[in-house]
Amino acid sequence: MLLAFAFCGPLPSCNDLAVTTPDDTSDLLGSSRWRLLIAALTALAADAADQQAWLAAHRVETDDLALDFEHALRTAATLAAAGRIEADVMARLEAIDARFTNMSGQQNAHRWTPQALATDTGWHEARAQARQILTELTGGWNYPLPDITVIR
């Protein structure tokens, strides 16, 4: 299954994001890589109840949050290589991905339920990291969850 984010749909306008990067950011703000990263972080940063409602509304699974983040992380590497994301931010993004990897496996299936979003320490820590990074990148974290189109 593929989730396609409607970039900057419910998020603040791409042109309104307060981005703290060196140099001119006009090309960064319009970048689909940038928008994918912000949308994936927004989904991870949301309160557990909002994540649960969003998953149910779009009929997707809990692991889709992590899979979309993983996809955004791969595209973020391009932004980091271009100097648009600082190395420490990239390292923290990779730490979120490593957390999800450590939560994986059949023995951890209970950590990938909608209920686990509210109770699991790994999800709490990933949410806190996503909020911190999103705040650094955009000036805030509590945005509406992105609109998506699910391609089944």
pLDDT tens track for 92-144: 999 999 999 999 999 999 999 999 999 999 999 999 999 999 999 999 999 99
The SS3 assignment for 89 reads helix
Confidence of residue 19 (pLDDT cuts 50, 70, 90): very low
Higher pLDDT, 31 or 100: 100
Instruction: Please determine, for residue 79, whether its predicted confidence score (pLDDT) is greater than 80.
Output: yes
| pLDDT, tens digit (0-9, with 9 covering 90-100), for 36-49 | 999 999 999 999 99
Give the orientation angle of helix 63-81 with respect to helix 32-45, to 10 degrees.
Answer: 140
Q: What is the CA radius of gyration of the chain?
A: 15
Question: Half-sphere exposure of 135 toward its Cβ, with a 13 Å CA cutoff?
Answer: 9
Burial (CB < 10 A; 0-12, 13-18, 19+), residue 37, is: buried
Strand ranges (E), the chain: 2-5, 148-151
- Predicted model pTM: 0.80
